[in-house]
Amino acid sequence: MKTKSIGILTKPKFPEVKTTLHAVVIWLRARSIDVLLDTTSAALLGEQGGIQKTQLASEAGVLLVLGGDGTMLNAARLAGERSIPILGVNMGGLGFLTEVQLDNLYPSLDRVFANDFVLDERLMLKAHVHRHGETVARGVVLNDVVISKGTLARMIELKIAIQGQFVTNLRGDGLIVSTPTGSTAYSLSAGGPIINPAVQSLMLTPICPHTLTHRPLIVPGNAEIEVTLTSKDDGAMATLDGQVGIAMTQGDTAVIQASEYRTRLIRFPESHYYEVLREKLKWGDG
């Protein structure tokens, strides 16, 4: 790896983050690696300064994430246009996106500096919410865009079109539009299939549809999906990667398609996608 700068993103709520962060910063600086900390991480270490999270991705050569999948999703959105490599260290629960267990952190960093890794490129989505012809919100996500009823008790109605062709009117609790990476997230719990991230596709998964014949739909990765809120429901939301919420009103349309950018995850050659699935989903040994 040519670069000598690492930006560190953390999830401070994990109990061991502070001690891990302290140790890894000392370890990196002892090797003359320029360590960039956001304001949260700097405060955690009792250091002055720190930069904004948005600056991390523009200045660092690699992002080191100490956290869980939520922190990884945040890192993917920050890396956005630069698509810098991200190494995830699992300090959370399930951890589909994090590559490294905590007890293997330092050998993994040594391998990164020795260029002994591969980059796993993941498709991302870009979403625009249009209201009366104006774009009122936009974002780029790694997992999914969810259009849902929010805290409403009643169903919402959505009109779905793909490549400009009307597909269906959906009544229910909402719709998940996900990437293959997102197929093991919310979509999975809503009954969607698991899609290998090497498959360039998008998936539409209905959430508790009123009509039981509505099923998950897999479409080509270059498809443009338009989802219009047709019912009059205050409280309906478009949620990006479960982290950014946008209020939607009747007539609003979310336009969702693959982003031109990719998330680049640092992987090691001996780790395999199906092994991760087997371990995380408790499928048992072969």
Catalytic residues: 69
Q: How far apart are CA 80 and CA 71, in angstroms?
A: 14
The residue behind tokens 């999270």 is 53
The residue behind tokens 């499928």 is 283
Task: Give the strand pairing for 62-67 and 5-10.
Answer: parallel
